[in-house]
Amino acid sequence: MITWINLVVLIGSVFLCLYFYVKSAGPAALEKKIGKPAYLKCTRYRIVASVFMGIAAVNYVVYFFYPLPIPLPRAFPWDWWGSILIALIIAALGGYVWVKGMKDAGEETIMVKKEHTLYKGIYSKIRHPQAAGEVTYWWVIAFLLHSPFLVLFSFVWIPVFYIMCLAEEKDLTIRYGEEYLEYRRNTGFIIPKRKC
C-alpha cells in the first residue's frame, strides 16, 4: 500500500512542481493583469514549486524502502560503490553548472524581481545553467539509492525542466523584448553556441 501511495505522491509532486514553477515564471504577463504584486505572487509560486520538488526527493528515498513490484532489478548488478562513484561524477559536473548559475543569478534564483537585469557570467554562455545543473541531481539521488527504476524515472525531469525553461523565456521576452530575443540568438539554451 505504501508503495503505491508513494508512487502517486511522486507523480503528483512532479506535476505540481511543474505547474507552480510555470506559474512562477510569468511575472511580466501577470503584472499586466494585477500590477506590481505579480512579482511577490510569482515568488510564492516558486517557493511552492520548490516544496513539491522536495517532496519528490523524499519520495525517491521512500521508494528505496518500498519499491514497486515490477520485473526490474531492485538494485544495479554492480557493487553500491560503483553507483556512488557515478553519482559523485554527475554531482560534480552538474553541481558546478548549477552553483555557478545560482551565483550569477543572485536572489533571482528564488525571488522574482522586476528590477533584475539580464545575467552576466555563465549566462553569457548559456541561458539555463541552473536547470541544466539541477536536472542532473535526480540521477545523483537515483544512483546513490542504487535504483534502476529511479534512474529510469529521472528521465521524466527532462521535459519538466524543458517546459520550465520555455515558460521563463516566454516571460523574459515580454519583459525585455528585442533585447532578450537578441540574447537568445547569441546564447545557447544549455550548450554554448559556437562563435562564427
pLDDT at 183: 86
DSSP-assigned states of every residue in 39-51 = HHHHHHHHHHHHH
- Predicted confidence (pLDDT) per residue in 83-126, tens digit: 999 999 999 999 888 888 888 777 665 566 666 666 678 888 88
Which structural domain range is residue 95 located in? 2-186
Q: How far apart are CA 163 and CA 23, in angstroms?
A: 11
Does residue 196 sit within a domain? no
- What's the structural domain count of the chain? 1
Q: Which residue has the cell 528515498?
A: 61
| pLDDT above 70 (res 82) | yes
Does residue 46 sit within a domain? yes
Does residue 191 sit within a domain? no
Give the CATH number of the domain where residue 145 resides: 1.20.120
pLDDT at 78: 95
Does residue 27 sit within a domain? yes
Q: How far apart are CA 3 and CA 8, in angstroms?
A: 9
pTM over the 0.85 mark: yes
